[in-house]
A and B are shown apart, each in its own frame.
Chain A
Amino acid sequence: MTREAIEAEIRRIFLQEFEIEDPAMDVDLREAYQFDSIDAIELLVEIERFLGSELTMEEKKRAMDIRTVRQICSYVEELVRARRPGGSLPIGDLCKEGS
């Protein structure tokens, strides 16, 4: 899955589920759109649907530091990579490695 496809899906989720149209990539979602922890949890559910795969508690906790759409896209990209055959490195470790 390409980065472009991930970004398009995230934008679709923001529009359909959160009524946020075309969010800027690098703005703080909380400040700009009142995107709060409740929304973050619901976003994770949407990401699970998108991936067709349940997130681990560790992966979910890691998401709580995310503030921007660009970070969300990177996060999903890492989840996708971790779920590839042979790519089973836990997302927390991937993020620590600065990917």
Chain B
Amino acid sequence: MQRRVVITAASAITPIGHGREDILRSLREGYSGVKPLRQDDLLAPFIHSQVFGTVDYPIPFDFKRVNRKTMGPVSYYACQVAKEVLEASGLEQEFITSGRLGVAFGSTHGSPTVQRDIYKVFHSRDRAGVSSIGAVDYLKSMVHTTAVNITKMFGITGRVIASSTACTTSSQSIGFGYEAVRYGMQDAMLCGGADEYDTTTVAVFDNLLACSTAFNDEPGRTPRPFDVRRDGLVVGEGAGAVLLEEYESARRRGATILAEVVGFACNNNGGDLILPNLAGIRETLRLALRDADMAPDEIDLVSAHATATKMGDIIEAQAISAVYGDRPLVTALKSYMGHTMASCGVIETILILYMMQEGFVAPTLNLEEVDERCAMIRHVPSLVKTPVRAAAVQNFAFGGVNTGLILRKEP
């Protein structure tokens, strides 16, 4: 059985806004969500990179205590976007709890905020401190905390897939959700990812010399994907969720269809866990096209992973060129908000959906002078008004994991 899979609702909390209108405004106006790194009592003062893709606006969480009690900050984000998606979907409560709806949702490593509090207790060597570890600390911090807090809040009884593959977490969530619906294992899947503010993630990339440091005094001018002055990634926070449904049943119930997911691929480089790998990435892009049964020239827009690292952007440009040539527009959406880690795949998918609906492509921010080693693809230095019939969203992660998603506007 192979069924068609459509996206019928989407929501995102991002450094450039919460919800469709905020995000579209930021994309049109070239607003950057990169701000000074939040200071804390841990590592922040020692980190060279002092920029962060920041969610700095209030979010009206309205969760009952029975749900809040097992949530760290990452699950607040996750449950908020899940709630907005389910409300927008118009799905009946009976369906939501029927077992026909599943959840594919992940984060990089649960809630580091809660984990840090536990570690502080461990190192206190204080018996009273140990007994102060709360009964819910594990539930708040565990890797699958986002997925299961969503199931609990909404009474979802279908399958749970809790990807945790760093930067490909939420693109895997969408891809595995798509496969679950396509092959008839679920009729719908709530898919996405989230990551909360986390200084330790910044420290890790900072120590790898992978973070941007040259624009600490001008946060909005970094990251700079494909630009000759790019100097590394900017870590960020955020969340996104999409609802995937089987096409015929979505159409029958009169759901708004935002786009069709027509292809997904996921592979591994089979070697180094950090260095980008041209062969692995190129193969992912080809496998996604094959799964979609589409030719490269049917893709109008590529959403590049493009973290603005020195080598990563070059390898990705080479892979795009090898698979697509220079026909499709290529935009790098991390330029607006930094690298939102586990949520980047779903957030970038949602931004592409919005732009497909509105008929424009947002430019890669801060792309002032294209690095000649990345110049073989069709960059978007300024906003382009154009219909986008099909788009590719690609993401790559530490561990050598690569994903490719193919979206089509009209089912």
A58 part of interface (Cβ distance < 8 Å): no
A41 lies within 8 A of B135 (CB): yes
Indicate whether A50 reaches chain B with its CB closer than 8 angstroms: no
Min Cβ gap B381→A in Å is 52
- Would A38 and B65 count as touching, CB distance under 8 A? no
User: Which residues of chain B are near A18, meaning CB under 8 Å?
Assistant: 65
A85 to chain B, nearest CB (A): 24
Q: Among the interface residues B69, B70, B128, B136, which one has the most CB atoms of the partner chain A within 10 A?
A: B69
Chain B positions within 8 Å of A34 at CB level: 66
Whether the pair B134, A42 counts as a contact (CB closer than 8 A) is yes
Instruction: Say whether A19 faces chain B, with CB atoms less than 8 Å apart.
Output: yes
B residues less than 8 Å from A42 (CB atoms): 69, 134-136
Binary interface profile of B, 55-78, with partner A (CB < 8 Å = 1, else 0)? 000000000111001100000000
Q: Are B70 and A38 in contact, CB atoms less than 8 angstroms apart? A: yes
**Which of these, B64, B69, B139, contacts A39 with CB under 8 Å?**
B69
Which residues of B lie under 8 Å from residue A37 when comparing CB positions? 135
CB distance from A29 to the nearest CB of B (A): 12
B 295-344 contacts with A by CB, 8 A = none
Q: Which residues of A contact B139 (CB under 8 A)?
A: 38
Which DSSP category, helix, strand, loop or mixed, fits chain B's interface?
loop
| CA distance in complex: A41, B136 (Å) | 9
CA distance in complex: A19, B69 (Å): 11
Contact between chains at A19 and B134 (CB < 8 Å): no
How many angstroms from the CA of A42 to the CA of B131 in the assembled complex? 11
Q: Bin chain B's interface residue count.
A: 10 to 19
Cβ–Cβ < 8 Å partners of A41 in chain B: 134-135
Question: What residues of A have a CB within 8 angstroms of the CB of B134 in the complex?
Answer: 41-42, 45
Is A38's CB under 8 angstroms from B64's CB? Answer: no
Instruction: For the complex formed, measure the closest distance between the CB of B152 and the CB atoms of chain A, giving whole angstroms.
Output: 10
Interface centre among A18, A34, A38, A54 (most CB of B within 10 A): A38
The complex places the Cα of A61 from the Cα of B198 at a distance, in Å, of 37
By beta carbon, the residue of chain A nearest B65 is A19
A37 CA to B139 CA, complexed, in Å: 13
User: CA of A38 to CA of B128 in the docked complex: distance in angstroms?
Assistant: 19
- Proximity string of chain A (31-44) to chain B, C-beta cutoff 8 Å, 1 when within and 0 when not: 00010011101100
Cα A41 to Cα B137 with chains together (Å): 12
B243: shortest Cβ distance to chain A, in Å? 26
Q: How far is the CA of A6 from the CA of B134 in the complex (A)?
A: 24
B64 touches A19 (CB 8 A): yes
Q: Which residues from chain A contact B135 at a C-beta distance below 8 Å?
A: 37-38, 41-42
Residues 23-71 of B at the A interface (beta carbon under 8 Å): 64-66, 69-70
Residues of A14-56 whose CB lies within 8 A of B:
18-19, 34, 37-39, 41-42, 45, 54
Determine the residue in chain A with the shortest Cβ distance to B134: A42
Residues of B within 8 A of A19 (CB): 64-66
- Give the chain B neighbours of A45 by CB distance below 8 A: 134
Chain B residues proximal to chain A, CB less than 8 Å: 64-66, 69-70, 128, 131, 134-136, 139
Can you spell out 21 A-B residue pairs with CB atoms less than 8 angstroms apart?
A18-B65, A19-B64, A19-B65, A19-B66, A34-B66, A37-B135, A38-B69, A38-B70, A38-B135, A38-B136, A38-B139, A39-B69, A41-B134, A41-B135, A42-B69, A42-B134, A42-B135, A42-B136, A45-B134, A54-B128, A54-B131
**Chain A interface (Cβ < 8 Å from any Cβ of B):** 18-19, 34, 37-39, 41-42, 45, 54
Given pairs A38-B139, A42-B134, A54-B131, 15 additional interface contacts (CB within 8 A): A18-B65, A19-B64, A34-B66, A38-B69, A38-B70, A38-B135, A38-B136, A39-B69, A41-B134, A41-B135, A42-B69, A42-B135, A42-B136, A45-B134, A54-B128
